[in-house]
Every structure is written in C-alpha cells, then in structure tokens.
C-alpha cells in the first residue's frame, strides 16, 4: 500500500499574508490562490471567520485546479516569513461618508496590524488597501520601520481600471486596447490624465470631446462612491481585489509592471515626504522606480492640491494617534 501524509503544512516558498478577511481580503485570497501565485495566510480578529473562509477556498482547490494552500488564523505567529503582507483590515464607508471619515477608526487598526505582521515578517513587502488609502499607507510605513520603497498603497491600479472601463463602455472598444493613468490621492481630488490615457496608442483627447472626457473623469473620481451608494452596506471588492492581486503578482514574480500606485516621494513631482499615487515600476524590491511624467502646469497643480489634502490628513491622523497614546 502507498502511504501519503495527511497533513498539509504551508511549505511553499512564496507566502502572502492578508490581514482582514472581509470582502476585499477574502476576495484577494481567492484571486491569489486561483491564479496560483502563492500560499495565502488570511488573518482577522473575528474568531473562526478566516478559518471558515480558508476551508471554503481550500475545498474549491480541486475544482479551480490550483496548488496553493490557504490558511485562516487569528494568530500573527502563523503569518511568519511572508513575502508580501497586505493590510485590508478596517471598516469600509457607508453611504454619505467620505473615505476620510474612516480615519479615526482605521488608523489604530492599521498601525497595530502593521506592527504585529511585520514583527513576524521583517523582510516582507507591505501593500496597504485600507482607507483613507494614502494616509493609511503613510502611517503603515512609519509603524513598520521598513524602507519606504517596500511600502506601497493600492489605489491607482483600481482608479485607472475604472477609467479604462468607463472609456470602453462609452466607445465600445476592446478594453485591452485601452491604457489609462490616474495619479494623486485616492479620493475626490484624484488626477485622471486624459493625455496619458490612450486607445491603441492614440490619446483619448484626440478621440473624445472635452465634455465627454470630463464626464468620464467625474465618474472615475466617484467610482468607489457610486458602488457604496448602490450597495448600501459596504464598498467595492471585486475590482479592488483584482487590482491588489496584480500588484502582488508583479512583486512576487519580479514582473516590473509600471502602474500607478501610492508610493513615497522624495522630490519627484516637486513633492517630498508624502505617499501618493504616481506611476511606479513594481518588482521584487517593491517600488523599483518612480516614473516622472512630463505634466502640464494644470496637471501638476492638480496633483499638488491632492497632495496637500493628503498631507493635512496625515498630520491630523498623527495628532489623533498621539492623543490616544497619551490617554493609554
């Protein structure tokens, strides 16, 4: 008789931890596993919940034909030696709220989750998803003690994908022939760039009139809000999980994809000491380079207005965290 071991330890060399097993986190775990990218450890504070999701995803392995193992846990020790840690823990917004309204609650969650995860995976690359995204990425960087190029926020890939899909819907052209670029903070002040958004290499400014482009830009800026209003009980998660998994894949497999992501600027675009959305080359070292586009005065000014709003919110979040630390 041939004997096989019945235990399935997480032993593959590539491991991604996803903190927060809610809508975005669990869908991301599914995407990573079903694309065969890495083993996944899914962690949440709710007892039993990440374990149940992991078991459910594991039972689909034979059907989806992948070899990745998925573990659910409430214990950070189980996340040890992860190559990538993704933070999705925190509350989503409800109709009528802005992402900035989540700052008070999510700042503490993100700081604690980052510290605990990085203590067990000091060589990981950290991707932040929790909102308000640019502020949370800054706080996570400070809490992690990691070099700034190893900390990245997910927003630009999603915002660009939304702009891309709205252009495809408007013109009826194949989505794979459309490339879009959205810079800036993940909020109402984000900066979609029509001059750098093309259909088979032709800028959309040569294909659509200004009024149509402005309408699509407005819809892109409100892309998350439109879904929150429709769903009433939370926000988007399919496209956010797809966007995050693209970043995870580029990092794990050193693909050097050039995509907009929230990265630390040290003089690029005349901005310093801020995390904000810019085109980045993502590979095994994290942000391998930041691409400086040649912006018009109006585009650069829009990016600076968005950055100023992020900067004010970071200051507010730091003051809030300091006040909480003094009370405790």
Task: Catalog residues that contact ligand OAA under the rule CB under 6 A.
Answer: 92-93, 99, 131, 158, 186, 223-225, 227-228, 235-236, 240
For residue 146, count CB atoms less than 10 angstroms from its CB and return exposed for 0-12, middle for 13-18, buried for 19 or more. buried
SS3 153: strand
Binding mask 119-148 for ligand NAI (x = CB under 6 A): ----------xxx-x---------------
- 85 is an annotated ligand-binding site residue: no
SS3 181: coil
Q: Which stretch binds ligand NAI (CB under 6 A): 117-125, 152-160, 210-218, 283-291?
A: 152-160
- 86 is an annotated ligand-binding site residue: no
Interaction of residue 185 with ligand NAI, rule CB under 6 A: no
Which segments within 125-271 are labelled E, that is strand?
125-128, 151-153, 178-179, 182-183, 191-192, 198-199, 202-203, 257-266
| Two tokens, residue 65 | 């034909």
Candidate list 235, 279, 283, 286; residue touching ligand NAI; CB under 6 A: 235
Q: Which is nearer to ligand OAA, 54 or 259 (CB)?
A: 259
Exposure of 156 in the CB half-sphere (CA atoms within 13 A) = 30
> Which residues are the active-site residues?
186
308: CB partners within 8 A, 6+ apart: none
Interaction of residue 223 with ligand NAI, rule CB under 6 A: no
- 223 is an annotated ligand-binding site residue: no
30: CB partners within 8 A, 6+ apart: 57, 241
CB 226 within 8 A of CB 140: no
Spatial distance between the Cα atoms of 73 and 222, rounded to a whole number of angstroms: 35
- 36 is an annotated ligand-binding site residue: no
Q: Which is nearer to ligand NAI, 116 or 215 (CB)?
A: 116
Contacted by 228, from ligand NAI, ligand OAA, none: CB < 5 to 8 Å by type: ligand OAA
Q: Which is nearer to ligand NAI, 20 or 192 (CB)?
A: 20
Spatial distance between the Cα atoms of 4 and 227, rounded to a whole number of angstroms: 48
Spatial distance between the Cα atoms of 59 and 198, rounded to a whole number of angstroms: 42
Interaction of residue 113 with ligand NAI, rule CB under 6 A: yes
- 313 is an annotated ligand-binding site residue: no
Binding-site positions read 20-25, 44, 93, 99, 106, 129-131, 162
Binding-site positions for NAD(+) read 20-25, 44, 106, 129-131
Contact residues toward ligand NAI (CB under 6 A) are 19-25, 44-46, 88-93, 102, 106, 109, 112-113, 129-131, 133, 154-155, 158, 186, 234-237, 240
Binding-site positions for substrate read 93, 99, 131, 162
């Amino acid at each position: 008789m041939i004997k096989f071991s019945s235990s399935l330890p997480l032993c593959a060399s590539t491991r991604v931890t996803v903190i927060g097993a809610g809508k975005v986190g669990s869908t991301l775990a599914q995407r990573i596993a079903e694309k065969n990218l890495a083993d996944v450890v899914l962690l949440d504070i709710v007892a039993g919940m990440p374990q149940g999701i992991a078991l459910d995803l594991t039972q689909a392995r034979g059907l989806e034909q992948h070899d990745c193992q998925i573990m659910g846990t409430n214990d950070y020790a189980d996340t040890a030696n992860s190559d990538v840690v993704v933070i999705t823990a925190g509350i989503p917004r409800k109709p009528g709220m802005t992402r900035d309204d989540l700052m008070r609650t999510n700042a503490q969650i993100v700081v604690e989750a980052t510290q605990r995860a990085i203590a067990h995976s000091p060589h990981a690359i950290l991707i932040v998803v929790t909102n308000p995204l640019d502020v949370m990425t800054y706080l996570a960087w400070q809490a992690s003690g990691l070099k700034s190029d190893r900390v990245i926020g997910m927003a630009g890939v999603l915002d660009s994908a939304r702009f891309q899909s709205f252009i495809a819907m408007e013109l009826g052209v194949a989505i794979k022939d459309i490339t879009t670029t959205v810079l800036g903070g993940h909020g109402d002040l984000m900066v979609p760039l029509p001059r750098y958004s093309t259909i088979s290499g032709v800028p959309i400014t040569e294909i659509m009139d200004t009024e149509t482009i402005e309408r699509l830009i407005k819809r892109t800026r409100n892309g998350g809000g439109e879904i929150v209003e429709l769903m009433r009980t939370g926000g988007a998660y399919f496209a956010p999980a797809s966007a995050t998994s693209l970043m995870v894949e580029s990092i794990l497999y050193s693909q050097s994809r050039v995509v907009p992501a929230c990265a630390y600027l040290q003089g690029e675009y005349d901005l310093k000491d801020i995390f904000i959305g810019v085109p980045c080359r993502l590979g095994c070292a994290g942000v391998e380079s930041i691409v400086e586009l040649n912006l018009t005065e109006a585009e650069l000014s829009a990016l600076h207005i968005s950055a100023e709003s992020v900067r004010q919110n970071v200051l507010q979040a730091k003051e809030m965290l300091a006040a909480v630390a003094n009370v405790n």
